[in-house]
Structure 1
């Protein structure tokens, strides 16, 4: 039973890390886009032109040489910046003893991982059933930002 709980806990941590990587790859590690930020003329509606302007602004931020195109180097630089920011957030959140390194216990989340497991294990029986797993996935999906 203890081994099954441990295995399930490790699997849950892997899922959380994988979902974080998916978020980072999708570009949603920054703050979510709001209706107000897209509605540039603040008329209560988002036009196609406003949506295109928003996407163009993303291009301009990544286009460091100003040529109107994204090169492989610019994409790599943007990805490296996101990865660095994510690593810094992970370190600040997980390095509970503040020694500048993440131990195995810190990486696996310690008490945070236990709380996450307990949130998924809705009936408190110490194991995660398929229905509990799917319900947790549904809850996570509802919290994800909508694609731009």
Structure 2
């Protein structure tokens, strides 16, 4: 393959790796619990380089190229499993940092059990027969959901 074809294949793979998750978010397969709109707005703001309220193909391409370059720690134009894992770890750190900032009521930079959202109440909303317990069948019926929608 020529260098140009390799570059185009890499760009296509990168675009797919980043755009497909964005489309999934837009269609309801991304962050749950009402966070989808917040996440989409954050991602949009990151891509809107000239801050005109619109994102062009060039802005999207630039955004994804920058993300790829940032993940390509050794600069070889390829992402290894280790580089992809490190990039994902950074994303988790950012996400957890936002979570702590939002939920940390006492401002100590950590989450206590009391500051963590209670999941039991949400899970109990899966109890469709009202018997006070969630059966495997009720969980399966809610398949594809990370809890009931409010």
Q: TM-score of the superposition, structure 2-length normalised? A: 0.44
**Could you tell me the TM-score, scaled by structure 1's length?**
0.44
Question: Hey, which of these two has a bigger chunk of helix by percent?
Answer: 1
